[in-house]
Amino acid sequence: MENQSRVFAEILPAAAREFAAKENEHGFEMRAVNSQNPGNVNQAREVQVTGTAEVCCPADRVSVRVSVANSKESVNEVTNSITRRLEYILQSVRQHGVSEKDTSVRRFLHREAEQYHMEAEVKVTFSDFDKMERVCSVLLEKLDKSVCVGTPHFFHSAESLSQMRRRACVSAVENAQQKACEVSQLLGQTLGPPLQVREEETREWRSEDEEDGGRCRDSAPLPHIPNIRASSRVSVSFSLRDRSRKKL
């Protein structure tokens, strides 16, 4: 995770009038504002900071399509042939702990000349990539050429995307708080509780910096596991307390 931040510090008394504004080379701007009542020593002060964060989330789901096909002279023969192989595929999937809600089956029967042709497809969704590899290996070994195992398709679940967005926002707030602490120390103040937190901007994009590893040029490419990145920019206001002022 890569964190970046831009700090905007602003000291604000209640019912204030701005008297100075300047941006310095360190990337943050400080404005000191005087109260309309200079004798008011209990004037409210706050520091406003802007923090950003970027997080990366790899795919957490993978789906595989397993298909079988056969042709026979009668409907019963082709149905029995396909059903036996479907039962073996589904049994192998269940033995590896995949629930029924993550499995779907489709069948299609049609006639070609004097024969009946049936095709069937099982779509299985895995959350464990190792289980996916083991199931594919078992099916290819046991069913050989009578089965076709498709290329795995990796994707992100809605839960993982939601968690990624929350992590980006929380990291941005944490970064903003750290910067606010540094600014308050620079100004000789003590950082108080947060007054306002506002998420100003969010972005999501697919990561393009995938590595090829040391793959040989003549070898087939491995299934691609995509990454999605998210960034968040937040604005946070904290109250400030003067260190030198004695508590009453």
16 has a pLDDT exceeding 50: no
Separation CA 203–CA 161 (nearest Å): 12
* Spatial CA neighbour of 123 closest among 89, 157, 155, 82: 89
pTM value is 0.73
Residue 31: predicted pLDDT: 45
14 has a pLDDT exceeding 50: no
95 has a pLDDT exceeding 50: yes
Residue 222: predicted pLDDT: 74
Residue 44: predicted pLDDT: 63
144 conformational bin, left if phi > 0, alpha if psi -120 to 50, beta if neither? left
Residue 134: predicted pLDDT: 96
What is the pLDDT confidence band of residue 187, given thresholds at 50, 70 and 90? confident
Q: Which two tokens stand for residue 156?
A: 């992100």
156 has a pLDDT exceeding 80: yes
The torsion of the CA quartet 98, 102, 105, 106, rounded to 10 degrees, works out to -150
215 has a pLDDT exceeding 80: no
* Spatial CA neighbour of 172 closest among 46, 51, 76, 29: 51
DSSP, collapsed to helix, strand or coil, labels residue 21 as: coil
What is the pLDDT confidence band of residue 90, given thresholds at 50, 70 and 90? very high
Q: How confident is the model over 41-47, as a mean pLDDT?
A: 69
Q: What are the angstrom distances between the C-alpha of 204 and each of 168, 230, 233, 248?
A: 10, 4, 12, 49
47 has a pLDDT exceeding 60: yes
- Does an H or E element contain 120, and which? strand 115-126
Contact 81, 70 (CB under 8 A): yes
Q: How confident is the model over 135-145, as a mean pLDDT?
A: 93
Separation CA 171–CA 232 (nearest Å): 8
Residue owning tokens 């779907």: 104
Separation CA 227–CA 205 (nearest Å): 9
Computed from CA positions of residues 69, 71, 74, 77, in that sequence, does the dihedral angle turn out positive or negative? negative
Q: How confident is the model over 28-44, as a mean pLDDT?
A: 47
Q: How confident is the model over 224-235, as a mean pLDDT?
A: 95
Average pLDDT, rounded, for the chain: 82
